[in-house]
Amino acid sequence: MNPTLLRLALGGNALFSASCGLILVSATEPLTAVIGDVDPWILRLLGIGLLLFAAFLFWNAWRPTPHPVFALLITGADLGWVAGSVVLMLIPSTPLSASGTGVVAGVACVVLVFALLQVAGLWALTRNRGGDTTARSAFSITQRVDAPPEVVWNLVRDLERIGEFSPSIQSVEVTGVQGGARRTCENRSGQRWSEDVIEWDDQARILTLRFDAEAPDFPLPLEKMYGGWTIESAGDCADVTVWYEYTMRGGVVGEILAPLIAHQIRDMMTTTISNMEAESKQMAGIMAGT
C-alpha cells in the first residue's frame, strides 16, 4: 500500500483547517465586518469545530497507514462544506457581503482541491503497480514469525487447516491435490467462496490462489481476485507474506473504495498469521524434543 499521497492530502487539509480555525477564533470581530451580517458566535463556534476537525485530520494522516474509512468520512465532510458554501452564496437572503462571498468561494475552492486529492490518495492506496495479474488493486502483508520456515510452510500447504487459524472461517472443504486443488471456505455468517490453486512450489514455499469471484454468491463486490502465500527464511524465523490482487465492481467508484476491502482483509490475515505463529512454535518445540 502506498499512503504517501493520501497522507500529504490529509496533512495539507489539516494545516489549512487549523489556520482557518485559528483565524475565526482569534479575529472574529474584524472578520464579521468583512464577511457580512453574521453573528460572531457562529464564527467562533465554526472556528472551534475546524480546530477539532484539524486535530482529527492530523491524527489520521500520521498513522502508519491512514484509515480508509476515516479518509472517506473526511472527504465526505469536505464535499458537504463545498455544497453548503454554494447554497449559502446562492440563497437570495444570504447574509454575506460581496467580500464575504469571495472569501467563502475561495475557501470552498481550496477545500474542494483537498477533497479531490484525498480521493486520488484513496485510489492510489491500493493501486496495483507491477503485480502478478491484471487486477487493478493490490496489497500485501508481511509478518515475521518466530518459527522455522519449513514448519510454517507445512501449515500453509495443508489447505484444510486455514480454518483453525482464521477468525472468520468456520468450515473448509478441499477437493483435488496440490496444483489441482480447490478449497471452499464458509465464514461464520454462512457466506461461501472457492479458491483454486494455480501455483504450488514446495521448494520456494509459494502458494498462489485464484478466487472464484465470478460465482453469484461470492461475498465480496469483486470482478476478479487472486491471492497467495510466500514463506521466506529469516535466520531461525520466517517472513510470511500474504498478498492479494483484485478488481472492484463499480468502475472508478469501486477503485476508490478498494482500500476498504484491503483494510478488512488485512486485519483478518494479521490475526491468522499470528495464530499460525503460535501453532508453528508449538510444533517446532515438539519436533525439537523428539
Residue 74's pLDDT is: 96
Whole-angstrom Cα distance, residue 143 to residue 146?
A: 10
Output the pLDDT for position 1.
Answer: 67
Check residue 110 and give its pLDDT.
97
Mean pLDDT of 9-38: 90
In the numeric block, which cell numbers belong to residue 36?
A: 457580512
Task: Supply the Cα-derived Rg of the chain in whole angstroms.
Answer: 25
Mean pLDDT value across residues 51-71: 93
What is the rounded CA–CA span in Å between residue 119 and residue 254?
12
pLDDT per residue as tens digits for the range 192-207: 999 999 999 999 999 9
Query: Is the pLDDT at 36 greater than 80, yes or no?
Result: no
Say yes or no to pLDDT of 289 above 70.
no
* Chain length of the chain: 290
State residue 288's pLDDT score: 58
Domain residue extents for the chain:
4-125, 137-289
Dist. CA 276–CA 156, nearest whole Å: 9
Assess whether pLDDT exceeds 60 at residue 290.
no
What's the CA gap between 195 and 155, in Å, rounded? 17
C-alpha to C-alpha distance for 260 and 69, rounded to whole angstroms: 7
The pLDDT tens digits of the residues spanning 206-237 come to 999 999 999 999 999 999 999 999 999 998 89
Helix or strand run (H / E) with residue 69: helix 68-90
The pTM of the full predicted model, rounded to 2 decimals, is 0.81
Scan for cell 477468525, then name that residue: 167
* Contact between 185 and 195 (Cβ < 8 Å): yes
Q: Which residue has the cell 510454517?
A: 152
Q: Average pLDDT in the 34-55 region?
A: 89
Give the per-residue pLDDT at 286: 64
| pLDDT above 90 for 131 | no
pLDDT digit string (tens) for 234-287? 988 999 999 999 999 988 888 889 999 898 888 899 999 999 998 888 876 666
- Picking from 235, 242, 233, 236, the residue whose alpha carbon sits closest to that of residue 143 is 242
Q: How far is CA 240 from CA 148, 211, 230, 245, in A?
A: 11, 20, 6, 17
Domain boundaries 137-289, corresponding CATH code: 3.30.530.20
Local confidence band at 100 (pLDDT 50, 70, 90 cut-offs): confident
| Nearest of 235, 269, 232 to residue 152 by alpha carbon | 232
> Is the model's pLDDT at 112 over the cut of 70?
yes
Lowest mean pLDDT: which of 1-5, 117-121, 191-195, 270-274?
1-5
What does the angle CA 38 – CA 39 – CA 43 come to, to the nearest 5 degrees?
A: 85
Sequence-ordered list of residues with C-beta below 8 angstroms from that of 86, at least 6 positions apart, any chain? 108
Closest residue by Cα to residue 269 from 129, 168, 152 = 168
